[in-house]
Amino acid sequence: MSFKIILAVVAGIGVGYFVLPSEILQYTDYILDIGLCLLLFFVGIDIGKNKDVFDKIKKIGFRVLLVPVMIIIGSVFGSIVAGLILGIPMNEAGAVGAGLGWYSLSSMMLATYSSKLSALAFISNVAREIIALLTIPIIAKYIGDIESIAPAAATSMDTSLPLIAKSTNPHTAIIAFISGVIVSTSVPILVSVIIKL
């Protein structure tokens, strides 16, 4: 799936650059707006299906929610600090960080704002997932089990979960899943709030 996603974007860039006239640009925003609403509906369905998450949180204890909260704060704060160094406005850098590894949704949400920022969100969040897959086993071994959930952020409920489970223990895998659901739910809200700041 990740490969198909990257291929679809790269094919779009290629066709846009080499084939289509720039007059088409005025119509893309309408399609993206309608498409985004449809996509958010599907995202809602996926999140709603994980109804057992509430029971898991109750069983483990509400303190477990600190893990996703810290991942969110750390990611947004980290991207703002990086933005200050790179000379990117705080709201733009923060919105890229608020993508939390969910590159398809975050880049799509920022596409109507600016295609440059959308590209930055896409590449940055793809890079986050790749770095996460490379560093999760190392962080689990040398820093700690729970800390290994942090690089994965939103992907800790799906694509990174098998790796976290393999690198840590069943307990951490449950926390990773809960954290992934909470972090994923916050992405559409945070990206649209932070970009408006």
Partner 1 sequence: MSIRLLLYLGILIIGGFFGYKGYGGKKLESKLGTIQTVCLLLLLFIMGLKMGLDEKVISSFFELGFQAIVISIFTITFSVILVKLVKGFVLKNIQQGEQNDEL
Residue 197 interacts with partner 1 (CB under 8 A): yes or no: no
Question: For partner 1, which residue of 55, 90, 102, 104 counts as binding (CB under 8 A)?
Answer: 104
Interacting residues with partner 1 between 56 and 85 (CB under 8 A):
59-61, 63-64, 66-67, 70-79, 81-83, 85
- Does position 182 interact with partner 1 (CB under 8 A)? The reply is no
Q: What is the largest CA-CA distance in the chain?
A: 57
Among 57, 102, 106, 125, indicate the residue that binds partner 1 (CB under 8 A): 125
- Residue 168 gets which letter from DSSP? S
| Sole residue written with tokens 């930055």 | 120
| CB-CB contact of 185 with 156 (8 Å) | no
Residues 6+ apart with CB under 8 A from 102: 125, 153, 154, 155, 184, 187
Number of residues that bind partner 1 (CB under 8 A): 99
**Given the complex with partner 1, which of 13 and 166 has the nearer CB atom?**
13
Binding-site string for partner 1 from residue 129 to residue 168, where x marks contact by CB under 8 A and - marks none: --xx--x---x---xx-xx-xxx-x---------------
* Rg of the chain (C-alpha set): 17
Is 38 a residue that touches partner 1 (CB under 8 A)?
yes
Beta carbon of residue 143, minimum distance to partner 1 (angstroms, whole number): 7
Determine phi and psi for 134, rounding to 5 degrees: -80, -35
Write down the least CB distance from residue 48 to partner 1, Å. Answer: 3
Percent helix, percent strand, percent coil in the chain, to nearest 5: 85, 0, 15
